[in-house]
Structure 1
Amino acid sequence: MYNERFWKKSWDPEIKDLNPELWETTFVEAIRPTLEELSEKIAFVFFGIELTFGEIDKYSNQFANMLIENNFKPGDVIGINLPNIPECVITYLGTLKAGCIASGISPLLSEIQMQYQLENLGEAGRQVGLITLDIIFANRIIKFASKLSQLKLIITTNIGSFLPKIKQILGKLLKKIPSGKVTSVQNKININFMDILKNYSTDKPEIEITPDDIAFILFTGGTTGQPKGATLTHKNVVCDLIIVSNWLGWERGKGFAVSGFPFFHMGGLYFLEHCLYLGWGQALIPNPRDTDFIVKVIEKYKPTALVNVPSLFQLLLKNSKFRNLDHSNIIGCISAASPFPKESQQELESVVGKGKLIECYGCTETTALTTMNPSKGLKKLGTVGVPMTNIELKLLDPATGEEVSLGDPGEICVRGDMVMKEYYQRPEETKKAIDEEGFMHTGDVGIMDEDGYIRIVDRTKDMIIVSGYKVYSSKLEDILTKHPAIDIIATIGVSNPERPGSELVKAYIKLDPNYSYDGNEDALKADIINYAKEHCAPFEVPKIIEFAEELPYTLIGKIDKKTLRMQNLENK
C-alpha cells in the first residue's frame, strides 16, 4: 500500500518527482547564485542593521580563511553556540566554505551538556573550534575549556557587536546587552570575532568539497532520548532544500521572512538555508519571546512568510499589536516542531488569512522536512500534510514491524536522499534507527488517512514538548536521579494551560528512604528544582513536582507512565 505512494493524488497538479541529479552538489555551490547574482539585496536585518548577500559572502570568506590559516582542515568541526545574530549566519557559511563541519550548540544548555557535545565532536581525532557569546564564555565555557584537548580554537563575540558603537555602549550601560569578561585559555587559539573581519582576506577560499562530505552534525535525542550527533551531508541538505522549494513554489529573490526558530535547532537552521537558497531576506530574532520586537519587525518589513513553532504563534496571538497588523503580504505561515491545536490554527488563520497556515513535519535525522500540506491545494488543519516528492514513507507497528492500515497509528519511517548518513561515532544507535532497507525510524507515531495526510498522535519514547523544544524524559531522569533525595523518578508532560499545545515537565518522585530532611516538602522541591537548573537546560527543568510513596509499574517492571498521565488528568 505505502509503496504505491497513493498520496501523490493530493499533491498540487504541477508537483512531480524530481531528478535526483539536481542535488548532486554542495550547499555552498547551491547558494552561489544568490550570493553572486543578488549581492546587493538585503539578506538579513538585525536591530536596524541591514546586511546584503554580498556582505555575508565576503564576511563568510574571511571566517573560512581564518580557519584555514589556523590549520583547520576539511572535516574538522566548529561548534556554534550563538543565538540568531549576524555572527551565527557568517560562521555557519564560513565553516562550510572551509570544508569544515558546522554543529549548532544551544546557548540554553548547561555547562555539563555543552562539554559533552564538544567532547563528542572531538572524537575520531577531529579538531574542534567553538564560537560563543562573551557572557556564556565567562559563566560556563571557561569552567571546562582547558580540559578539552581537541578544542583548539575559541572565538567570542557580544550580542551587540554588529550594532553602532553608541548603541553598544548604551546597551551595556543600561544592561540591555549582556556581556562577560573574556580571558585567554591556555593552549587554545583565542580570537575576537570582529578581529576576523579586520584581519583576514575576503577572497573565496579554494577548498574542494563534495556532495557526500558532512556539512552538519546536529545533536538530537534521536529515538532513544540520548544525545547523538546526526550527521548530514551536503547532498542531504540540498536534496531537502530543492524538494521543499519546489513544493512551495515560492519565487526566488522576491520574499522576506520572519522566524523565531533558533538556528541551533534543525528547524531554524533549515529555514536559514532555505532563505539563502531562495535569495530571500530574513529578520534575525535573538529573543523569540519578545513579541513586541517581532511585531515591530513585521510592521516595518511586511514579510512574505512567518515560520515558527506553534507556541510562538500562540504568544503572538496574545499580542493585540500582532492582531492589528496588516498581514496581506503573507503568503504562508509555516508551523513545525510540536503539535499545534486545531483551535489555535483556526485562530491564527482568522488573523493572517484563511488557507495561509502550512503545517509540516520532519526531524533532524531527515534534514528537516518530509511531509507538508500542499502549498495551493487542500490543507487539512490538524495534520502535517502528505509526504513530499522523492520521499518513501510508511507507518509500521513498533511492536511487530508490520505495516499498519490506514486510520491506525504507526511509527513514521522515511527513506530518501534527505535521510542522515549516521549518528556520529554511534554505529549501534545508527543501526537501531536506520533499518537494512534504509528507512529511518523516527520514533514518532502518526495516523494516515485515505488521502495520505498524516496526523501526529504520540511520541514513542516519551518525549515532552516544551515550547517546541524536545525534552527527553529518560535523559532528564538520569540527571535528576543523582540528587541525594531521589530514589525513583518519572517525568511526564502535562498540558500548559497558558500555552495550548505546549507542555510542562512534571516529575513524580519517590524519596530515598535513607535521605533525611525536616519534612518541609516545599523546601525540598525548591532544592530539587535548583539542582535541575544547575544541570539541565531551562526548558528541561520540572515545573511541577509530586512526591509519591510508590510509582506504578507495568507487568514487565517498567514505570507505567501511561498510568501517571491518567492519574494526572483525573486529579485536575
Structure 2
Amino acid sequence: MNLNPVWLNSYPEGVPADIDPTQYNSLVGLMDESFSKFADRAAYSFMGKDFSFAQVDQESLGLAAYLQSLGLIKGDRVAIMMPNVPQYPMAVAAILRAGLVVVNVNPLYTARELEHQLKDSGAKAIVIIENFAATLEKCIAQTPVQHVVLASMGDRLGLLKGSLVNYVVRNVKKMVPSFNLPQAVRFNDATSQGRQQAFRKPDLSPDDIAVLQYTGGTTGVSKGAVLLHRNVIANVLQSEAWNEPVMKRIPAGQQATSVCALPLYHIFAFTVNMMLGLRMGGKTILIPNPRDLPAVLKELSTHTFHSFPAVNTLFNGLANHPDFGTVDWSNLKVSLGGGTAVTPSVAKLWLEKTGCPICEGYGLSETSPSASCNPTTSTEFTGTIGVPIPGTWMKLLDDDGQEVTALGMPGEIAIKGPQVMAGYWQRPDETAKVMTADGYFKSGDVGTMDERGFFKIVDRKKDMILVSGFNVYPNEVEEVASACPGVLECAAIGVPDEKTGETVKLVVVKKDPALTAEQIMAYCRENMTAYKQPRVIEFRSELPKTPVGKILRRELRNKA
C-alpha cells in the first residue's frame, strides 16, 4: 500500500489525511456531547417550528426508557418507517440510547417489501407514521413485530397547529388510509410514559451494531448492511473534515444550517444531514415531501442555510421551478450531489442560479455512505466522483481481482476505510462475495483514476438500475412482473431518463395474447414501490439467452 497516495495532493488546505474515530465509544457518546453542548440551539426546523437540542434530548430519553420498558434488550432491532418529521431523529436517538439497532425502512414500501425487511431484520418493534399504517396492518401478522409506536404529521407541532395539520392530512388530503392496529401506542403517549420509567444506560462499544441499512444486491434480495457505531462515527467525522474549508466561511453568529430534503431512511441523509448536524451543533431543516417543489421552496424562503445535499433530480427540479427566485441562495456554501450521477447540464444551471457549484461525491449503503468527494472548494463541476475522503483508500480491480495500475484503465472500484460495513446481516455468503482478503469492499461500479487521484465512474458491473439515487435490482422487478397473469417471461433493464437518470424498462414475452402493458403496470403498482415500477414495456416473441438459458440483459441494454 502506497503510504502517500496521489490524491492527498488534491486535498484542500487544512483537510487532514485521516480522522480519529476512537474519540467516541458510540454514536450515543457523540449525541450526548451535542445535547449538552448545544442544548439551547435549534436542532431541527419543521413546518415553521424549531426543536432545540434539549428537547430532542428529553423526548428521545423518554422514548428510550419506554422501549426498554417493553422488554427490548441490547441488540434488538427497531424499525423506523416515516418521512422527514421530527419524530424520526427523536426515534433514532431513542433507539440508539436504549442500546437497540435502527432499521431504516422506506415509507413507500408495499406490504410485500415491508414484510421481507421486518422478517429479515427480526425487528421486534416499529415506529411508524399513521400514513403508512395500513401497509403494516397487511403484513404485521407474518413478522416478528410485537410493538407499534404510531406517529402523526402534527404530533410535535403543539395542540392547535398539530390538530389542524392532522385534520388536513387525514380529512382534506386523504393521506391516511383506514387501518386497524389495536396494539399501537401513540408516539406522544410513548414518550410521556417513558418519562415515568427508569432509563438504564447500556454499555455500548464501537463494535456494537448501530444500523441495519437495507440495500439490494446482485441477487436482487434486499439485505441489511451492518453498520457499526464506529462505521457511522467515522463517516460523520470524515464528512465534517471534508466540509470544513467552506463551512468555516459561515459568518460569525450564524448557526450552520443544512437542508434535509433527502429522506432520512436513505443513508446519505441519515449520516450527512442528521448525524453530522448533531456533531456540529447545526440546524437541520426537515422537508417531509421533496416532490412537492412549491412547498419545498416556500419552506426554504423562510430560512438562511449553508449546506444542501441532494440528488440530480432535486437540483434539476428546483433550478427549473418558477418559484426558485423566492429563496435566498446567497448563503449556500456547499451543494453536495450524491446518490446518482449529477448531469453536466444540471450542474451548469445550478451554478448559474446559485453561484455555488455542485460538489459530487460517491458512496454506498455499505460505506456509511461517503467514500469519495470532490473538494468543497471546487469552483466548477468536474464530472468525476472526486478523491477518497480522509482515512479512505480506493483502488481498481480487474476481473481476476488484481489491481489495475495503468492510469485511465477501467476496473471495479474497491474501497477500504473505517466507514466500511462489517458485512451483510446474517449473510456470510453474500459478504464473502464483496469483501477482498485485504479488507476492501468491491462496489460493483467500474471506474478509472487520473494522475491527480480523481475517480470517474464509467460503467456498472452489476445489472443494477439506478433510479433517482435508489438501487433497483432487475431480479426483484422480474420476480414480481413474472407473477402477473399472462406473462410467460420477462427481463428488466435500465434505460436513460432525463428526470431520474435511469428508469425501468420491462421486456415481456406473453403467455396470454390479450395481455396489455397497462395490466402489467397495474400489477407492478400493487406490489412494488414507485421507483421500482417499469415505465416502459416492450413485448417480444422471445428473449436473448445464453446456451444454458440465462437471459442476456446486456444484449437488451445494448439494443435499447
1:341-380 aligned within 5 A: 341-354=343-356, 356-377=357-378, 380=381
C-alpha separation in 2, matches of 1:135 and 1:174: 12
Instruction: For residues 406-462 of structure 1, give each alpha carbon's deviation from its aligned partner in whole angstroms, at most 9, with x where no partner exists.
Output: 212211101111111111111111111112211111111112111111112222212
Counterpart of 1:503?
502
The yes-or-no answer on 1:59 pairing with 2:59 is yes
Counterpart of 2:73?
73
The yes-or-no answer on 1:535 pairing with 2:527 is yes
Q: Is the 8 A contact 1:257 1:282 kept in 2?
A: yes
Q: Deviation at 1:330?
A: 0.4
The correspondence for 2:324, drawn from 322, 325, 348, is 322
Counterpart of 2:222?
227
Counterpart of 2:151?
157
Q: Is the 8 A contact 1:222 1:365 kept in 2?
A: no
Counterpart of 2:139?
144
Matched residue SS, 2:172:
coil
Q: Is the 8 A contact 2:66 2:191 kept in 1?
A: no
Aligned residue type for 1:552: P
Q: Is the 8 A contact 2:218 2:473 kept in 1?
A: no
Q: Deviation at 1:179?
A: 2.5
The correspondence for 1:179, drawn from 176, 179, 198, is 176
The correspondence for 1:287, drawn from 289, 294, 301, is 289
C-alpha separation in 2, matches of 1:93 and 1:347: 38
Q: Deviation at 1:19?
A: 5.1
Give the structure-1-normalised TM-score.
0.91
Aligned residue type for 1:410: G
Q: Is the 8 A contact 2:21 2:237 kept in 1?
A: no
C-alpha separation in 1, matches of 2:450 and 2:174: 50
Q: 1:22 to 1:376 in 2, by over 3 A?
A: farther
Q: Deviation at 1:548?
A: 0.4
Q: Deviation at 1:380?
A: 4.9
Counterpart of 2:120?
120
Q: Is the 8 A contact 2:481 2:524 kept in 1?
A: yes
Q: Is the 8 A contact 1:345 1:381 kept in 2?
A: no
Query: Which is further off, 33-42 or 62-71?
Result: 33-42
Q: Deviation at 1:481?
A: 1.6
C-alpha separation in 2, matches of 1:511 and 1:170: 46
The yes-or-no answer on 1:396 pairing with 2:397 is yes
Aligned residue type for 2:554: K
The correspondence for 2:310, drawn from 296, 304, 308, is 308
Identity over aligned residues, as a percent?
Answer: 28
Gaps of 5+ in 2: none
Q: Deviation at 1:4?
A: 4.9
Aligned residue type for 2:150: T
Q: 1:217 to 1:166 in 2, by over 3 A?
A: closer
The yes-or-no answer on 1:168 pairing with 2:169 is no
The yes-or-no answer on 1:214 pairing with 2:204 is no
Aligned residue type for 2:413: I
C-alpha separation in 2, matches of 1:32 and 1:279: 12
Matched residue SS, 1:230:
strand
Q: 1:417 to 1:165 in 2, by over 3 A?
A: closer
Q: Deviation at 1:297?
A: 2.1
Counterpart of 2:14?
14
Matched residue SS, 2:147:
strand
Counterpart of 1:566?
558
C-alpha separation in 2, matches of 1:332 and 1:58: 31
Q: 1:173 to 1:238 in 2, by over 3 A?
A: closer
Aligned residue type for 1:442: S
Counterpart of 2:191?
197
Q: Deviation at 1:564?
A: 1.9
Count of residues paired in the alignment = 549
Instruction: For residues 167-189 of structure 1, give each alpha carbon's deviation from its aligned partner in whole angstroms, at most 9, with x where no partner exists.
Output: 2354147523623445345xxx5
Counterpart of 2:477?
476
Counterpart of 2:382?
381
Counterpart of 2:105?
105
Q: Deviation at 1:129?
A: 0.5
Q: Deviation at 1:158?
A: 1.6
Q: 1:363 to 1:240 in 2, by over 3 A?
A: same
Aligned residue type for 1:179: V
Matched residue SS, 2:180:
coil
Matched residue SS, 2:234:
helix
Q: Deviation at 1:372?
A: 0.6
Q: Is the 8 A contact 1:225 1:461 kept in 2?
A: no
Aligned residue type for 2:348: Q
C-alpha separation in 2, matches of 1:146 and 1:400: 45
Q: Is the 8 A contact 1:309 1:468 kept in 2?
A: yes
Instruction: For residues 278-308 of structure 1, give each alpha carbon's deviation from its aligned partner in whole angstroms, at most 9, with x where no partner exists.
Output: 1111111111111111112221112111111
Q: Deviation at 1:112?
A: 0.7
Counterpart of 2:336?
334
Q: RMSD value over aligned CA atoms? A: 2.2
Q: Deviation at 1:404?
A: 4.9
C-alpha separation in 2, matches of 1:243 and 1:182: 43
Gaps of 5+ in 1: none
Matched residue SS, 1:7:
helix
Q: Deviation at 1:553?
A: 3.0
The yes-or-no answer on 1:247 pairing with 2:242 is yes
